[in-house]
Amino acid sequence: MTFDAIGIAGSGMRAHRVWLDALSDNIANMNTAVPADEEAFRQRYVAVQADQERGGIAVSGVVWGDGEGRLAYEPTNPLADDAGYVRYPDIDLGEQMSYLILAQRGYQANAAVVDRAKTSYEAALQIGRR
């Protein structure tokens, strides 16, 4: 049971780490301008599913957001088209920061489960030695 708890929590930690990586990539690229006729940076979303074989969850893939983005009038931007427009990703910083907090807390909660399960296992070993 203890090893199951460690494995399941470990799978949660892996999934939250991938989510944190995707969120940090989204935040880092939210102000990346491209010419108006190109596709904007596409936001990353992490897809997870239940891992029936080992228990816990597994990252099943990455889902890419819309590359349409938003147009901004910046005639002095070197990437601007003849009409003065550039394209930015349509990424909401507030939303990304909220998800970042959720992912961080999920990672921390799973790490606490691993720590408690390890402590329980060590206590059981000490009882067996007596």
Band (pLDDT 50/70/90 cuts) for residue 118 is confident
Residue 100 vs residue 52, higher pLDDT? 100
pTM of the model: 0.85
Q: What's the pLDDT at 130? A: 65
CA–CA dist 47, 24 (Å, integer): 16
Question: Rounded to a whole number, what is the distance in angstroms from the first to the last CA of the chain?
Answer: 22
How long is the chain?
A: 130
Tell me how far CA of residue 112 lies from CA of 6, 48, 51, in angstroms: 10, 21, 21
Sequence-separated (6 or more) residues with CB below 8 Å from residue 84: 73, 74, 75
